[in-house]
Structure 1
């Protein structure tokens, strides 16, 4: 019935044998082009049912590209001339020959402009792009961001990569690291990069410093200058930070320029002001930087935890000024460390006011380990500052320590 209906509307197909038409219809249906999609395809491109090139293309898709989206196949069949199909399989196999795993091939094809990359682009240009990208993380880069293949090599891809490399002082390895950390960066134009760079230069940062921030947080190039960058840098400047301070701040707390103000930063600022931080101070800026690494919920639970142990707002302020990171630590981890300090070590909770960095060390690998090693030598009243802050090398240089713990040179002694 379906074949008869198609023949009635497209008499030019009558020259083909019914058997061949049935086979071709079956081929189309087997790759997911059915129902309305099938009617649309044949109506717009009747030769789909008779072209030998289309037949070879359908065989290749059915045998080697299972899972390719029918909607993409329909657009390809309708929009592409049959002359493009003979080279299609060769271009796809080129990806496999150059390292794209077979089980990732369909994922790549489903996320690119197939007609542009595998039909209209000469195979020589595709291979040239592959060779270029081998210096910047091929094939993993393409698996993570197939859309990179949509870019034109000479007018888009090369200029963008070269600009980033120039920004990084010609360091190709670092440029590759940046691109692989966030492949989306290749979707931005050179003019976009220049516009953002002009902003950072205007506040006193060097190109090298901008590149180093980007290595930590590539999203620096995606943030709106007017809506986020300008007001946030103005906030840091109001907190008495100069260009050098801002650079160091953003290296440690790059999320400050990306997080939502309404849903995130404003709530954290309210917490900090409530604790006792004053507007326009470096201490406030450093505290804001620290809490960008935690959620509003965890921050509230950390403060509540300190209150449950008898600390006041002023005490929390003192501790966080000495060691801003106490505000970003997981509240469950903090509770375990405080319990061990009081119950396991028999110390006063107030010692945290003098040495809040205690809460930043790993409980099992550093705190408990060192305490057990040293308590028989120095007794329970030893300084927790000296116990924990001394380097692993110095800690292990003591003969008694080494004798009691022959594995003390392991990295597990690190903070």
Structure 2
């Protein structure tokens, strides 16, 4: 018999909702390699028993955090570590990020074929303390040395400090020239739009996205052997397609578009190089939809594009809801999904960010997760949704 519970709608009205009478998507290990590289930017699990001031300090449940990464690897997904999905810059500081990277790399050594790429930024340097481009370079070098000493592959994250001190494209060219020339192995560059972080407005030295793209492409062209690819998160599929067609052969486009990922990954088979007609993936939403992402990529790997789209299409409304403005609070929806799925014992976040979205937002996310077949354990999800409702006075 189908389960019904009372949920608030997006106008705050209480209405009955009956779960669909269908099996959820079941997680399974791939039987063959994917034909796309797919990184999931992974969240961290807070320690809810730590006696700390949650808005000022962070404590991580390391066992649960690493167990979640092991789940992603078991589904064939790589882990993009210590990125914004892990609340980098929104509660997760640099020392804790480095410990997270170390533990993740250690765990990956026990998993054949496990992919890990780690966020290298400047977040230990407060933007207001950056006085020059040289300060930014030194900050990048500090994190770069620390991660590479662990054997880590770098994702060179966009820098709030650089966005603050740079006076134009030439300053970006100087910083990235210095960093890329020192890299021990090819890196992934990271272009995060201002909808994800307002402090990154005007990145690459201009608010004009086409001019910014020219600067980024010029930096890549100057260091073709040091750039594996670039992840862009602009939520603009046309800009991503235009840029991937201009990349040098062998340089990958990693989509960070949590609104249009399905069609971007499937591709259009146009471009000078085979991989420029498609995007690989480095996505926060893959944390929340991991079973569907894995199943879809398995279908794509055997040429079943129809099944690929059939699996991912229902996840797109869910993703657009999780990443709705203000987009920077999407991490709350990602962790909520992990809690509903039984992958952590509680709905508590670093920095108290579980309070960043409303009860109607969570209720709609529950509905969309059900519609997408992503309530892995429906009885547990219903029980936990009722707990959240009761906490907000809805019995």
Greater helix share, 1 or 2? 1
Whichever of the two has the greater Rg, that structure is: 1
Give 1 or 2: higher strand fraction.
2
Same fold? TM cut 0.5: no
1 or 2 for the larger relative contact order (CA 8 Å, sep ≥6)?
2
